[in-house]
Structure 1
Amino acid sequence: MQSALRLIFPPQCISCGVLVESEFALCGSCWRDTHFISGLVCDTCGVPLPGEDEDVQCDDCMTMARPWTRGRAAVLYQDNARRLILSLKHGDRTELARPMATWLSRAVQPILRPDMMVAPVPLHRTRLLRRRYNQAALLAAAVAKDAGLEYCPDLLLRKKRTQIQEGMGVDARFANIAGALQAHPKRREICAGRHVLLVDDVMTSGATLAAGAEACRAAGARDVSVLVLARVAKDM
């Protein structure tokens, strides 16, 4: 049956649509245009770094206090990765969460802990109603399932609708998100004493993740780590 379906509907590149050998894969050209993060990275935010040292931080994480301990990212937010993420967020291409979760599961391995509880960065209810799904929740659920970790989709709430942060500077981003996230009143008890792995699609300044991590810690989380699909990085 599966072979027959492959003959009728052969696998296509998730980006450009050309035929590929396996489901949910990228063709060679699109793979080259998708910048997967590997090698030395900042242990706090996952941005790639030059050199071969271990347990290092980028300049931003050395100068800016982060309310989480460790972080990782799967790809750089540019070129084909950016196009795919925008298709997931705004193009109803929820099937992209499946291959993207595989990329995330690979990226998170160095910081994975068996006692972690996975939670997504939430959308405001009005934005969720319009979009119909939270892309961060799709990714977080798949990562939790793959790692065999507990998943809490509504650990955090976005209690106020914030402005779209694209184009904002660092200070404006932190001001925009200030006070917007909080632990769900009915989930505070399960958060207490736990190590939370907070998942989002893109990290730019880290303002949203910082707000989420602070909300987790205010609810009694013992520790917080972060995982993002894509990291906006400065030119290296």
Structure 2
Amino acid sequence: MSIGGALLPLFDLLYPPRCPLCGAGIAAQTGLCMDCWSTLAIPGDPSCRACGRPFGEAMPEGGTCVPCLADPPRHAGIAAGTLYNDTSRKLVLALKHGNRLALAPMMAGLIVPKLSFVDGAWLVVPVPLHRWRLWKRGYNQAAELGRHVARRTGARLCVDALERRKPTPSLGGLGKLARKRVLSGAIGVRAGRAATLKGVSVVLVDDVLTSGATSNACVSALRRAGAEKVVVACFARVLDEALDAT
């Protein structure tokens, strides 16, 4: 047992484990209480073979959703740990703005079951922050999630494969074309990393997937650099219609 492991009982005695959302007592320092776990929305099957969007029970397995039929994605699938609801929103905000980095292993643990096909030949790449935002926050929440995804899948991690070359405002409330204009030229492959990406299968990791505009810009940059395929992985995916069905 490591020194850290040997000290865990003493740490738990001094700081009894509490649910990070409601404060109820729990068995270990990581995780949620049963009541909070039960409020997470986990996407299930059947789902779209192209993007993982959950279907209603009447839809056949292996079908393709209408959005993907209308506009086939450049990515090779979306692996979402949860659907975005009040519980997942609180966890995302705690990780992103509350310096609760201890939540990253648990949140990554919900993504990993959707990545059973990933092994040591894959490369994990986080969605980048602009350097000003990184300096202000002190860490990239997507990189923290990516670190644990790579550790649990055995994939390699490359935290600086992508760079955000200019600061971008919030995309909330913008239409598809406006989002595309805002992100034009904003994200690219970092100089010297193209060789690392050539011919490699990539897991692109982010905390939340909303419209997909940012992840699409990242996927395009990775594919231009020669990545063979890119799977988008996120902790929470905004799909209100699937959430209503759940």
TM-score by length of 2: 0.89
Instruction: Write the mapping of 1:61-210 to structure 2, written as runs, cut at 5 A.
Output: 61-109=68-116, 111-210=117-216
Query: The residue matched to 1:182 in structure 2 has which SS?
Result: strand
1:213 & 1:160 partners in 2: Cα distance? 17
Contact 1:192/1:222 (<8 A) preserved? yes
Query: The residue matched to 2:125 in structure 1 has which SS?
Result: strand
Q: Quick one: which amino acid aligns to residue 20 of structure 1?
A: I
2:29: which partner in 1?
23
Query: The residue matched to 1:235 in structure 2 has which SS?
Result: helix
2:4: which partner in 1?
none
Gap runs ≥5 in structure 1? none
1:132 & 1:44 partners in 2: Cα distance? 35
1:45 counterpart (44, 51, 62): 51
* 1:186-214: CA deviation from partner (whole Å, max 9, x where unpaired): 10111111111111111111111111011
1:232 counterpart (218, 228, 238): 238
2:223 & 2:101 partners in 1: Cα distance? 31
* 1:40-85: CA deviation from partner (whole Å, max 9, x where unpaired): 2333333322136333333222222321112210111111111110
2:64 & 2:20 partners in 1: Cα distance? 33
1:114 & 1:54 partners in 2: Cα distance? 29
1:219: which partner in 2?
225
2:3: which partner in 1?
none
Q: Quick one: which amino acid aligns to residue 85 of structure 2?
A: Q
Relative distance call for 1:113 and 1:41 in structure 2 (3 A) is: farther
Contact 1:73/1:227 (<8 A) preserved? yes
Query: The residue matched to 1:50 in structure 2 has which SS?
Result: coil
1:231 & 1:69 partners in 2: Cα distance? 16
2:54 & 2:20 partners in 1: Cα distance? 25
1:115 & 1:54 partners in 2: Cα distance? 28
1:54: which partner in 2?
61
Deviates more, 1:170-179 or 1:17-26: 170-179
% identical equivalent positions: 37
Residues matched between the structures, number: 235
* 1:14-41: CA deviation from partner (whole Å, max 9, x where unpaired): 2111101233121122112221222323
2:133 & 2:11 partners in 1: Cα distance? 37
1:194 & 1:43 partners in 2: Cα distance? 21
2:177 & 2:90 partners in 1: Cα distance? 27
Q: 1:220 offset after TM fit, Å?
A: 1.0
1:204 & 1:59 partners in 2: Cα distance? 17
TM-score by length of 1: 0.92
Contact 1:45/1:73 (<8 A) preserved? no
1:2: which partner in 2?
8
1:33: which partner in 2?
39
2:94 & 2:51 partners in 1: Cα distance? 24
Deviates more, 1:42-51 or 1:64-73: 42-51
Q: 1:114 offset after TM fit, Å?
A: 4.4
1:11 & 1:107 partners in 2: Cα distance? 28
